[in-house]
Amino acid sequence: MGVSTDTIGPNQSLKDGDILVSSGNAFALGFFSPGKSRNRYIGIWYNKVPEQTVVWVANRDNPINGTSGVLVIDPAGNLVLSNESRNLSVWSTNVSSITLQKSSSAQLMETGNFVLFQDQSRSVIAWQSFDYPTNTILPNMKAGWNRKTGLNPFFRSWKSHDDPGTSEYVFKLELNGTPQFFLYKGSDRLWRTGPWNGLRLSGVPEMDPNFVFNIIYVENDDEVTITYVMKDPSIFSRMVLNESGTLERLTWQGPDRGWARFWDAPEDQCDNYAHCGAYSNCDLFNLSEFECSCLPGFEPQLERQWYLREASHGCKRKQEENVCGNGEGFIKVTNAKVPDTSIAHVNKNLGLTACQELCLKNCSCTAFASANISGGGNGCITWHGNLVDIRQFSNNGQDLYIRVSAAQLARNTRNSKGFHGKRLATTVIASIVGMLLILFLACWLSKKKRKGAKGETKSLFSSSTGLTSYDSRGKEMDGSGTNAEVSVFDVNTIVSATDDFSQSNKLGEGGFGAVYKGRLDSGQEIAVKRLSKISGQGNEEFKNEITLIARLQHKNLVRLLGCCSQQDEKMLVYEYLPNKGLDNFIFDKTRRSFIGWSKRFEIILGIARRDDISPRRLQTKNYSQGFES
């Protein structure tokens, strides 16, 4: 047959050694042997890529021995692969003969789709390879369910580089609850994309609009599908489920660079399905050594295992937490991958406020979120049962509202504008009394300090240090220097700024204490390191450290704004940098591509600038909450 055609007609055959080539020369179809194997298969590969990259295999589990294979259209109109004597069929399109005619033909399209047309006019598609993929998702291929035909094209990895046979790794769409893709190894779930939220799949923050491709998501009575379309068709890009069970998006960079990987999943331990168990959150940006933490109002199911960093048993609601008809409400978790929606309920006609009210009315409702976060948000997802597979992203996540008791709500949402239920009259009275007591105590402490009284509430620092003190309103106190490098904050200022060190403001925790995000009355965002009482650091060591750091400020390192040492509290106050640390960029597989070597060299030079810097000052980078590029 040669290579001059892209079509097989009724009276034609494709023998081993012949190939079809698409009209624009992008793809070829023919016989091949993978790796070191001598078995022969019919497959489709990139025609313009020098290293053979197969994207579809017909007879992946039924290879042909030797070069006797032939592909023909049989008298019924089906594509059939057999040996040359045609006494052994190894693969067929197997379409009902009622829909086919003897004049049917098959064409290799420029998209890489091999299409069997019902008649010679090519007006009706009887079968296409895009409906029966192997391990590769190509541009313009619809991944998902065809509700009319019942087809659910799913993807199976090759067994090995030498064997394209079906393996135990499967990537497919499931419609239970809300549609979402799962990656399986046998019957075990490995990774979940999360549902479509109007902008992207909830668990794939990298799916932002970009200069390479557009994403098309369709969910209606006919289909639930997702498709990516290349903005420049000359760019070869594919998504492949490889033999190790990893999904990868690859783009051809030319013979010198080959296939470059731009994204993969699962990427880290938080991507692993239900890594932290039920009612927990997985956060790699947490400053503690353990990425798992229980949701507000919950505690580890098995304390010892959790202490040993084994969280598969997850968390349970605290015994004293009553979340049914007792003033309960919701705490917002931001930038989240929403829990598994397999058993969630969806109402596309409700807004967020109505969604909250719906969840609050049902004691079994454990959380809610917007179904669609585009255009201000609409639609309602509610969960009734275990919350599984939640993780935290640095950006491009979405808001998730966790049901908590009135007591937990009071601890976490003081001065917040989040969603909450109505509180009982006794809770309101208790809150007012508590606030009055706090105000009275604050005034008493302030008055005592101004008189120079000694005691445990006295600040560790005097005005002779050249550090500026601030009261609970963030105003400069009398008697302190005005040209200070670092400020001494009143403890009430820090408590107010961090919403009483609420869990929702907690950025992480290390061996010397926890770090919280805060906002001063002036609007400035801060990061507060609250030293642990068991850190072993005494007053003199703390004072010496602050004095040293105050003299070693550097414009290219995170800035120390101040400190606080009152009662039994010792705190360091740093500027808050929203992009987290430099390591968040240079060690992340996706973000590191944003910082080329020229930019890295500039960063190195910037950090090495003298500007009154000492090598010891570099140690304070551990307190940094961000990197401003």
Q: Which amino acid is at 136?
A: T
Look-up of token digits 């081993």: 16
Residue 621, marked binder? no
The rounded distance, in Å, linking the Cα atoms of 293 and 279 is 9
Q: Are 398 and 338 in contact, with CB atoms under 8 Å apart? A: yes
**Helical ranges in 220-324 per DSSP H:** 303-307
The rounded distance, in Å, linking the Cα atoms of 366 and 279 is 10
Conformation bin of residue 327: beta by default, left when phi > 0, alpha when psi is -120 to 50: left
Residue by residue, DSSP assigns 180-245 as EEEEEETTEEEEEEEEB-SSSBTT-TT-S--SSEEEEEEESSSEEEEEEEESSTTS-EEEEE-TTS
Report helix, strand and coil shares of the chain as percent, to nearest 5. 20, 35, 50
Q: Look at the alpha carbons of 145, 113, 77, 34 in this order and tell me if their dihedral is positive or negative.
A: negative
Cα angle 136-137-138, degrees, rounded to a multiple of 5: 110
Q: Dihedrals φ, ψ of 408, to 5°? A: -65, -35
The rounded distance, in Å, linking the Cα atoms of 361 and 348 is 18
Residue by residue, DSSP assigns 370-400 as EEE-GGG-EEEEEE-S--B--EE-SSS-EEE
The rounded distance, in Å, linking the Cα atoms of 508 and 392 is 12
The rounded distance, in Å, linking the Cα atoms of 424 and 62 is 69
The rounded distance, in Å, linking the Cα atoms of 103 and 119 is 5
Q: Are 401 and 390 in contact, with CB atoms under 8 Å apart? A: no
Question: H helices then E strands: how many in the chain?
Answer: 8, 40
Strand 487-489 with 560-566, pairing: parallel
The rounded distance, in Å, linking the Cα atoms of 264 and 269 is 13
Q: How many CA atoms lie within 13 A of 82 on its CB side?
A: 14
Identify the bridge partners of residue 487 per DSSP, sorted by sequence position.
468, 562
Helix (H) / strand (E) containing 546: helix 539-550
Conformation bin of residue 10: beta by default, left when phi > 0, alpha when psi is -120 to 50: alpha
Instruction: For the chain, give the longest Cα–Cα distance.
Output: 107
Strand 378-383 with 345-347, pairing: antiparallel
The rounded distance, in Å, linking the Cα atoms of 127 and 129 is 7
Q: Tokens in use for 143?
A: 């991944």
Q: Which residues are annotated as a binding site?
A: 529
Q: Which residues are annotated as a binding site for ATP?
A: 529
